[in-house]
Chain A
Amino acid sequence: MEETALGLWGVPLAILAGAIRVSTPFIFVSLGETLTERSGRINLGLEGTLVFGAMSAYAVAVLTQSAWLGVLAAMMAGAVFGLLHGFICKFPKVNDIAIGIAMMQFGLGLAFFLGKPFIQPVAPKLPAIPLGNWSSLPQVQAALTINVLFIVGLILTFSIAWMLKNTRVGLILRVVGDSSDAARAMGINPNTVRLLATAAGGALAAIGGAYLSLFYPGSWNERISSGQGLMAVALVIFARWNPKGCMFASLLFGGAGALGPALQSVGVTQGYYLFYAAPYVLTLIILIMTSSPTTRLSGAPEELSLTK
């Protein structure tokens, strides 16, 4: 009865639920990329880091039967990928965008290679908090079952925003991102800062991957990511390198990503693939709207090769 009572209201509810569920990896990857890009470097390889994070989290969770150890393993793996990217980009004449593409392919290949034995086993899931028990509708309850990582992501958003604005670490990051020369004059080595920022970015992106394999959709296979790592990079541009902007953009993308499944749940099956493409189309439209051929993007770190 309740199913029919909800009727078409199920669509916005499912989109809201999806926004919360689907947005979490976007939040982590875009926060990570914000840190990296604020230091003046771009890591396009986060798609590879995300998938490798998903694989390593799932594998460690299967082996240790602890989802949180899986998240920790993913963070470490992601940091190693970031360190590798940061280390290679330190050398002159090396193109950070091209290295990102190579790291993406390397990460995907290595994840598929090492992840083969873990497609079958079942890993423990990350815990979720049921916030919808006040409602008698199962859909509402399902929609408000919120994963701990989503809450961690929200807290992280505000901590990073505060860190960038108010702390010495944030200041150093911004100086390096805006002018290598000014940083050197302050006695800061820009390459070291970028190395650490890329490692931190990789670790965060890998948490996004761990969320994919350990909560939603909650399994490991070679199609676990559908470009979230790449879209998150585009999303950082839209969010103008601002952590809070990343969070709102992630929620928007989560909603767009939930459109297809939500419509399917009320019986709209026509054009499934086109709804599935909605987040990509949305990303592209947003990129077109927010880019400019003549002026630099406002808020962009001056040293960023992406916008030069």
Chain B
Amino acid sequence: MAAEIDISSVASATRRFTLSRLQEELARRLEPLAITFLAILAGMGLFSLFLLALGKSPLQFVQLVYAGGFGTWFSLQNAFSRAAPLLLTALCVALPARLGLTVIGGEGALALGGLGAAAIAVPMLSVSHGWPLWIAMGIAGSVVGGLWIAFAGALKHYRGVNETISSLLLTYIGIAVMNHLIEGVLRDPASLNKPSTFPLPADGMFGKIWGMDVHWGFAIGIICCVLAWVLIERTTIGFAARVSGGNLRAAQIQGLPVGKLIVGFTFLAGAFAGLAGMIEVAAVQGSANGSIIAGYGYTGILVAFLARHNPLAIIPVSILLGGVAAAGGLIQRRMGLPDATVLVLQGTLFISVLFFETLYGRFKLFNPEMWRKTRAGKDGE
């Protein structure tokens, strides 16, 4: 008699488990989506209040962002172009974040990566154009950027230096080194008002993606995001990194090579930012100069946090913020707002998204553990 009851209850429990498993998985996946959406909505609400206080119309702002960043094929392509560096600088934040590190030095790695790429192009130009040149520039940019951020990672692991502070200090140093070299040995004497390296010839520049007015850097950025996702979610190395990020002590006890993971991931992170610098040089500027320091590294921090450090989520978020940046000019002209408006919006969204972190685990709808608790309570009765 007792045995029969046991069997039936086990059977029903198994059935319930398989049925609700899909639901649970769905709920878990929806939680970050819903909370991020709420956070963006709240951030936009606060920003609207700010605009209202200035006597500007939030509705017009949203309309202009849509028109300038997403509304037409032309503006959407503009958004894609501006998203290209963000995809890569966001990876520079997201990869170390999965290991529990807050690296914010993408701007410096971008600057030096662009410089490295431009520097290697100079002696190569007489020999080759096109693919060999771009591959050499890409490698130079990524290695320089990678070493720069890996230095911050190594300092963290071997010396216990806080990586957030060291990576930002390295950004200031990197930009100073770049300025020193483009006004010194790497300067093209023809660049009078704006010190630059020797420019790439027209056929040394990146072309446009077929049928689009968007340079190939955007495609490279998306490929890098997909590769980074595969690395983190589908490989043993990525698994080891996630374990270390979740609990460093446990990872060490398990014998995971934490030091190699930290240095390797920070190298890869910096390499992506350096590649962003190379793309800015090869697709937009044509040479390394002050214009490549345009704040992509800092916007990348916001992109990574909005995407919750998920490389695939970085793609839509980059396009979103790329579109906002693309609409910046339109907003300035039509609404008479200064160019810093986009910075205020970004800052508001950033604070809002971090604030809404506190909502994780609060909603029963998204947390299957809570369903089980109440169910167990009912079963107990």
Contact = CB atoms under 8 A, between A and B. Distances in A.
A105 B165 contact: no
Interface stretch (B70-78, B136-144, B270-278, B297-305): B297-305
Kindly state the interface size class of chain A when it binds its partner: 35 or more
B102 A280 contact: no
Contact of A109 (B155, B165, B179, B346): B346
A103 B102 CA distance: 15
Contact of A112 (B104, B180, B338): B338
A270 to B, nearest CB: 8
Given A95-B357, A274-B180, A291 B162 contact: yes
Given A105-B302, A227-B172, A273 B343 contact: no
A116 B338 contact: yes
Contacts of B164: 44, 97, 101
The SS class assigned to the B binding surface is helix
Interface stretch (B22-30, B58-66, B321-329, B348-356): B348-356
B210 interface: no
Nearest to A102: B350
Contact of A106 (B104, B166, B183, B348): B348
Interface stretch (A85-93, A172-180, A186-194, A199-207): A85-93
A115 B355 CA distance: 27
A287 to B, nearest CB: 5
A110 B344 contact: yes
B159 A291 contact: yes
A281 B173 contact: yes
Given A98-B305, A274-B180, A287-B165, A280 B155 contact: no
A232 B298 CA distance: 20
Contact of A98 (B102, B166, B360): B102
A113 B340 contact: yes
A272 B350 CA distance: 36
Nearest to B168: A230
A7 interface: no
Interface residues of B, number: 46
A120 interface: no
A16 to B, nearest CB: 24
Interface in B284-319: 298, 301-302, 305
Contacts of A139: none
B211 interface: no
A72 interface: no
Contact of B340 (A91, A112, A234, A237): A112
A294 B338 CA distance: 48
Contacts of A284: 166, 169-170, 173
Interface in B150-165: 155, 157-162, 164-165
A287 B165 CA distance: 9
A88 B161 contact: no
Nearest to A283: B169
B344 A102 contact: no
A93 B354 CA distance: 9
Nearest to B348: A106
Given A105-B302, A109-B340, A273-B179, A291 B160 contact: yes
Contacts of B160: 291-294
Contact of A287 (B102, B161, B355, B360): B161
A152 B132 CA distance: 61
A253 B168 CA distance: 17
B347 interface: yes
Given A92-B358, A292-B159, A306-B162, A277 B176 contact: yes
A97 B93 CA distance: 14
A82 to B, nearest CB: 14
Contacts of B344: 106, 109-110, 113
Given A92-B358, A274-B180, A109 B347 contact: yes
A118 to B, nearest CB: 12
Contacts of B350: 101-102, 105-106
B34 to A, nearest CB: 16
B367 interface: no
Contacts of B351: 84, 88, 99, 102-103, 106
B250 to A, nearest CB: 16
A13 to B, nearest CB: 25
Nearest to A47: B168
B161 A110 contact: no
A64 interface: no
Given A94-B355, A109-B340, A288-B159, A234 B165 contact: yes
A98 B353 CA distance: 10
B350 to A, nearest CB: 4
Contacts of A98: 102, 305, 354
10 contacts: A98-B354, A105-B347, A110-B344, A110-B347, A112-B343, A227-B169, A227-B172, A280-B176, A288-B159, A292-B159
Interface of B: 102, 104, 155, 157-162, 164-166, 168-170, 172-173, 176-177, 179-180, 183, 298, 301-302, 305, 337-338, 340-348, 350-351, 353-355, 357-358, 360-361
Interface of A: 44, 84, 88, 91-95, 97-99, 101-103, 105-110, 112-113, 116, 226-227, 230-231, 233-234, 237, 271-274, 276-277, 280-281, 283-284, 287-288, 291-294, 306
